[in-house]
A = this chain, B = another copy of it.
Amino acid sequence: MKFSEHAWKSIEDVFSEIINHPFIRELASGNLPPEVFKEYLKQDMLYLQSYGKAIAMLGSRATNHKDTAYWLKNAYEGLAAEKEMHDIYLKKWNIQETPEANTACEIYSNFILAIAAYMPYEIAVAGIMPCFWVYEQIGLTIVNKSNVDNPYIEWIQTYSSKQYSDSVQEGIILMDELAEKSSDETKSEMLKYFRKGTIYELLFYQGLM
């Protein structure tokens, strides 16, 4: 079994809580109150600033050119695609940016920033992977249940798109390659931080409703 398969299995309980969280369920059905989505979007924009910095830090610490290039592409293209989607909603609902992160956003941001700067690279990668892998799995899980007149369809399509999935798959392969070269001790730390990262994802939704 690949490390990534093992890692995903080890967080299925948390992912189940995420996918059944009211925020995700009502997003999928289209019944999520617009006020909640607006607040989510504001917090997500703040989170993505830290995400960009953390991913850039990973890129700076990668030990080969291919990894550096992946993180730069992930950060650049990923942030651009998400910004495009955000802009649709910002215009549609006339949302103003907020400078103040809520607690869940702040502590999740500090988690990814801290591990990217201090942890051994392999462990930092494992801890940050849920940021985009969990999003992709949410997208893929709910896209078939969602109608095109769902007001959140652009969000759902962004995270279930082929482009997004391809980028996530590249990241998973990169993580598996790192795990393969790692000691058992390091792999066990990678699993621990992979789970921690997933729990912070859940926390982010819990911070909203």
Footprint of B on A, CB under 8 Å?
A: 49, 52-54, 56-57, 59-63, 65, 68-69, 71-73, 75-77, 79, 107, 109-111, 113-114, 116-121, 181, 183, 185
Residue of B59, B63, B117, B181 near A113 (CB, 8 A) is: B117
**Whose C-beta in chain B lies nearest to the C-beta of A62?**
B53
Known contacts A52-B72, A79-B69, A107-B107: does B183 contact A61 (CB below 8 Å)? no
Measured CB to CB, the closest approach of chain B to A173, in angstroms, equals 19
**Whose C-beta in chain B lies nearest to the C-beta of A51?**
B68
Name the 5 nearest CB pairs between A and B, nearest first: A56-B59, A117-B117, A110-B110, A113-B114, A56-B60
Q: How far is the CA of A53 from the CA of B116 in the complex (A)?
A: 14
Q: How far is the CA of A93 from the CA of B101 in the complex (A)?
A: 41
Identify the interface centre among A52, A110, A121: most chain B CB within 10 Å of its CB: A110
